[in-house]
Amino acid sequence: MFWSYPVAFARNFLGKAPLWYKLVILLFLIANPVLFKVYGPFVAGWVLIGEFIFTLAMALKCYPLPAGGLLALEAVCIGMTKPETVFQEALTNFEVILLLIFMVAGIFFMKDFLRFTFTRILVKVQSKYKISLLFCFAGAFLSAFLDALTVTAVIIAVAYGFYDIYHRYVSGQDGSDAIHDLTSDLALKEKEQEDLKQFRGFLRNLMMHGAVGTALGGVCTLVGEPQNLLVGSVMGWQFATFFIKVAPVSLPVLVVGLATCYYVEKKKWCSYGVELPGHIRSHLLETEVQMEAKRGTRGTMRLVVQAIAGLWLIVALAFHLGAVGLIGLSVIVFLTAFNGITEEQRIGHAFEEALPFTALLVVFFAIVAVIHDQHLFTPVIDYVLSLKGHAQLAAYYIANGVLSAISDNVFVATVYISETKTHMIGMLAAIPDIGMTGQELMKKLTDPHTARADVLATLPQATAVQVKAVMDQFDKLAVAINTGTNIPSVATPNGQAAFLFLLTSALAPVIRLSYGRMVWLALPYTITMSLTGLAATYLFL
């Protein structure tokens, strides 16, 4: 009788995850305090990063929140970081948390309009490479003005809707509102299973093209990614200034990224080139025609209201009329009020997709807090700061890219821009006859409301020349930081929140999109975009 309790505990631990996975997590939990005690926090910190990446890689075996959360909780308990640091990291990224909570839910209430629009595109554009380019370009264009997470939420909603329609049809539950397991094909015939396998491959291709598109467009503008706002605010750059400064790197990468999209589809590299079966395309069109016939005046009016909400969303985000999450909340209020969604249960369902990922993101901030407290990136930063000229720019780009691929690109950008600014303030302070402290001069030179030329004009000519040289290099390093954290980070789901959101979404297990498969599908983009960005950083900055 006594042994039944340990057995029950073992079975409950991490639920249905494989036994080997449970044992690995237990091994991690046992080893971490030992490593921390014997080898110190630096080694233990890097091991912890590897362990957390493992939980992300095994997301289809076990959602990363329970296992990753245990690792983060243990790190706090043994002193690798402090609860206050974790809170500060979450507070710093509060706008991203608000975005996840409200914007993703807002997109949920627009799903009918999105499905209506994208179904039209899907059935009318028959060429696979044209559809792929359309998804990639749409992701890039929207991410230049919206947030990449918002755009990713849109394409996830669209792909999930497509798959749900056809899977219910072949499972004999067409039109049913009952709970349906989209991950199971056991009740289907062999031919239907093969069709669904091809359909999943097609959707995986589109999702990756769209996700990479968010990185292509997100690097270009001040509002494209959270770290862009961070870098722009430190440098005092406005929207147009940011675009012009980054353009020598971002625009060549955009062209190469779209060209990569075309060639991987044409050449069928890295599992791309999967076609949509014709009868599935036909069924999606038939379903949409039937839904349109049943929609009636009230249904059409709902689509019109959702379209108006979509326009408001684009305008509000493009002009940065408020925090992204608050704009998402306004969409929720608008759509629930004018489309008659007043039941708490229907409203609550919209939040189910985003909240697990929100919790996972806060756990990730705990890992970031360990990186911060244990100064895990300090040796790399010290090395690149010791370099000069174009070699320093290339090293900045590479270092930010590599670290962003294993960590969070917002955190990497935060660390690098702050350390670089401190270094540049020291260089300014060493220049004679500036008439003030380096800190005060830097504040004037990066004031968005004051032209830098006007500040330089107040200095002695010889001093102004030296100050201008320092600030020109600072501008270039800021661009290298921004592009380095945005472009090579497509290599893994760790670097970009949009990629991590896709990996941990309800869609990923449905279309069999695992960590390893995402890395494989991103590989051609990683190679071409990263090398183009590196070459442009070295040659054009």
pLDDT of residue 482: 92
Q: What is the pLDDT of residues 366-380, one digit of tens each?
A: 888 888 888 887 788
- Tally of CA atoms within 13 A in the half-sphere of 380 that contains its CB: 17
Confidence of residue 483 (pLDDT cuts 50, 70, 90): very high
pLDDT of residue 204: 92
pLDDT of residue 229: 77
Q: Please count the residues of the chain.
A: 541
pLDDT of residue 161: 80
pLDDT of residue 432: 86
Higher pLDDT, 192 or 253: 253
Q: What is the pLDDT of residues 124-176, one digit of tens each?
A: 787 888 889 988 998 888 888 766 777 787 788 888 888 887 777 777 666 55
Of 10-14, 164-168, 446-450, give the lowest mean pLDDT range.
164-168
Of 519, 524, 477, nearest to 249 (Cα)?
A: 477
Higher pLDDT, 307 or 319: 307
For residues 119 and 457, what is the distance between their CA atoms, to the nearest angstrom?
58
What is the mean pLDDT of the segment spanning 96-119?
Answer: 78
Of 285-299, 459-473, 523-537, give the lowest mean pLDDT range.
285-299
What is the reported pTM?
0.79
User: Among 161-165, 193-197, 439-443, which range has the highest average pLDDT?
Assistant: 439-443
Confidence of residue 284 (pLDDT cuts 50, 70, 90): confident
For residues 307 and 182, what is the distance between their CA atoms, to the nearest angstrom?
28
Statement: residue 179 has pLDDT above 70: no
Name the 3-class secondary structure at 223.
coil
What is the mean pLDDT of the segment spanning 377-393?
Answer: 84
What is the mean pLDDT of the segment spanning 35-64?
Answer: 86
pLDDT of residue 236: 84
Q: In sequence order, what are the residues at sequence separation of 6 or more whose Cβ sits closer than 8 angstroms to the Cβ of residue 512?
A: 60, 200, 204
Statement: residue 180 has pLDDT above 70: no
pLDDT of residue 397: 93
Q: Across all residues in the chain, what is the average pLDDT?
A: 84
pLDDT cut 90: percent of the chain above it:
25
pLDDT of residue 172: 67
What is the mean pLDDT of the segment spanning 419-446?
Answer: 85
pLDDT of residue 122: 73
Confidence of residue 185 (pLDDT cuts 50, 70, 90): low
SS3 per residue for 25-89? HHHHHHHHHHHHHHCCHHHHHHHHHHHHHHHHHCCCCCCHHHHHHHHHHHHHHCCCCCHHHHHHH
In the numeric block, which tokens belong to residue 279? 């009868």
pLDDT cut 70: percent of the chain above it:
95
CB 381 within 8 A of CB 416: yes
pLDDT of residue 394: 92
pLDDT of residue 178: 58
Statement: residue 189 has pLDDT above 60: yes
Question: What amino acid is encoded at 486 in this protein?
Answer: N
Tell which phi-psi region holds residue 340, choosing left (phi > 0), alpha (psi between -120 and 50) or beta: left
Of 84-88, 170-174, 320-324, 416-420, give the lowest mean pLDDT range.
170-174
For residues 152 and 209, what is the distance between their CA atoms, to the nearest angstrom?
11
Higher pLDDT, 538 or 365: 538
